[in-house]
Each structure stands twice: as structure tokens, then as C-alpha cells.
């Protein structure tokens, strides 16, 4: 019975953590998604937005769709590279990430960004242009993915500053340790010199 209760507690804690991560990291994207889908639905049922629809349709050409695929493939590569570097590095920076509990937020941000970017690539590659509101849906997901990526870049810049702070701190600690060792060696040398006299 106790084992089942602890398992349930762990699951409810994981669920709460997931809700907090979603709330903190993808709130803006979710608002834009809901607002965008309502706007797309409104635009598809109204003739007032016909010029906007035709402008977006002329903007989303085959060449531009190919550019979206290339661009988001590069973004997927960036997400994956950062994920691998942070996951495999062992340093004071990694300890700081764990201490500040930034790791879960960062990995959640990377996973969401990867999913969004993959979705854009899949949308470009496999969904036909004849799909209803294809261009509007594609632009909506491109915008959402770019917002996630810009938040990710901002986080990486903040983490870079934290890493630089850790490096400077480590250099200071190393320098002070070397100074202490030098002082101890000098003391030992002086005491040996005195004892020889």
C-alpha cells in the first residue's frame, strides 16, 4: 500500500511540475495558437479577409516553403547540439544548472522547440497546399516556432553569462589556492632554512 501511495505522490508531483513548466515556458505560444486558430477560422468564413488570405497565399510560395524547411532543419540542429552539449558536460556550470533547477526548464524548452520545428518541417513536406487554410496554418506555426526559438536564444545567452561567471569564479578559486600553496611552501622553506642554521 505504501509503495502505491508513494508512486501516486510521485506521479502527482511530476504532473504538477509539468503544469508549472508549461505555464512558465509555453504560455505565450499557447495564447498565440488559440488566438491564431480563432483568427484563421474567422478569416476562412469571412469575405472581408479575402485580400489578407490572398496576400498570405502569394507569400507562401514553393521556394519559401523550401526555405522554411532549410531554416527549421538548422534550428532543429541547434536545439539538438545544445541539448547534447549540456547533457554530456560535467562542470561547475552543470552543477549550477542543477542547483538553480534551470535544467528542467531548459530541457522542456528544447523539447517544445524541437516538436514545433519538426511540425513546421512536416507541415511543409507532407501536407498538400490544397489543404484548407494551409498557408495560414503554416504561417501560424512558423510564428510560434520563431517565438520559442527566440526565447531559447535568450535563455542560452543568460546561461552563457552564468557560465562565464562560473569560469571567473573557478579561476579566482584556483588562483587563491595556488597563492595559499606558495605561501605554505615559502613558510616550509623558511622554517627548513632556519633549522639548518
Q: Which of 113, 110, 131 is nearest to 121 (CA)?
A: 113
**For 20-77, what is each residue's pLDDT tens digit?**
655 667 788 888 889 988 888 887 777 777 787 788 888 888 899 999 999 999 999 9
User: For the chain, what is the mean pLDDT?
Assistant: 79
pLDDT at position 11 over 60: no
Model pLDDT, residue 20:
63
The grid coordinates listed for 188 are 616550509
Residues 6 or more apart whose CB falls under 8 angstroms from that of 83 comprise 107, 110
Higher pLDDT, 3 or 186: 186
Q: How many CB atoms lie within 10 A of CB 167?
A: 13
Average pLDDT over residues 160-188: 74
Task: Tell me the HSE value of 120 on the side-chain side, using a 13 A CA sphere.
Answer: 30
Of 161 and 147, more confident:
147
More confidently predicted of 4 and 84: 84
* pLDDT tens-digit series, residues 163-173: 777 777 777 77
Cα 142 versus chain centre, distance: 16
pTM metric for this prediction: 0.72
> How is the chain split into domains, by residue range?
2-148
Selected residue with higher pLDDT from 157 and 99:
157
Helices assigned H by DSSP within the chain: 2-25, 27-44, 50-59, 62-88, 92-99, 103-126, 134-196
CA distance 180 to 126: 65
Angstrom distance (rounded) from CA 17 to CA 142? 28
Cα first-last separation, the chain: 77
**In sequence order, what are the residues at sequence separation of 6 or more whose Cβ sits closer than 8 angstroms to the Cβ of residue 55?**
none
According to the model, what pLDDT value does residue 85 have?
A: 82
Of 177 and 27, which is predicted with more confidence? Answer: 27
| 88-98 average pLDDT score | 67
> Which of 59-63, 93-97, 186-190 has the lowest average pLDDT?
93-97
pLDDT reading at 5 higher than 50: no
Amino acid at each position: 500500500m505504501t509503495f502505491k501511495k508513494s508512486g501516486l505522490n510521485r506521479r502527482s508531483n511530476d504532473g504538477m511540475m509539468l503544469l508549472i513548466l508549461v505555464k512558465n515556458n509555453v504560455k505565450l505560444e499557447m495564447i498565440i495558437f488559440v488566438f491564431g486558430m480563432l483568427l484563421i477560422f474567422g478569416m476562412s468564413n469571412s469575405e472581408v479577409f479575402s485580400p489578407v488570405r490572398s496576400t498570405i497565399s502569394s507569400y507562401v510560395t514553393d521556394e519559401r516553403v523550401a526555405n522554411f524547411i532549410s531554416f527549421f532543419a538548422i534550428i532543429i540542429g541547434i536545439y539538438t547540439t545544445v541539448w547534447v552539449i549540456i547533457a554530456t558536460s560535467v562542470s561547475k556550470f552543470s552543477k549550477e544548472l542543477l542547483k538553480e533547477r534551470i535544467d528542467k526548464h531548459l530541457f522542456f524548452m528544447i523539447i517544445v522547440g524541437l516538436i514545433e520545428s519538426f511540425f513546421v518541417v512536416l507541415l511543409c513536406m507532407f501536407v498538400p497546399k490544397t489543404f484548407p487554410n494551409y498557408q495560414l496554418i503554416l504561417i501560424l506555426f512558423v510564428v510560434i516556432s520563431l517565438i520559442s526559438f527566440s526565447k531559447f536564444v535568450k535563455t542560452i545567452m543568460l546561461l552563457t553569462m552564468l557560465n562565464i561567471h562560473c569560469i571567473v569564479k573557478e579561476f579566482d578559486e584556483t588562483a587563491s589556492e595556488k597563492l595559499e600553496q606558495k605561501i605554505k611552501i615559502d613558510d616550509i622553506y623558511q622554517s627548513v632554512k632556519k633549522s639548518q642554521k
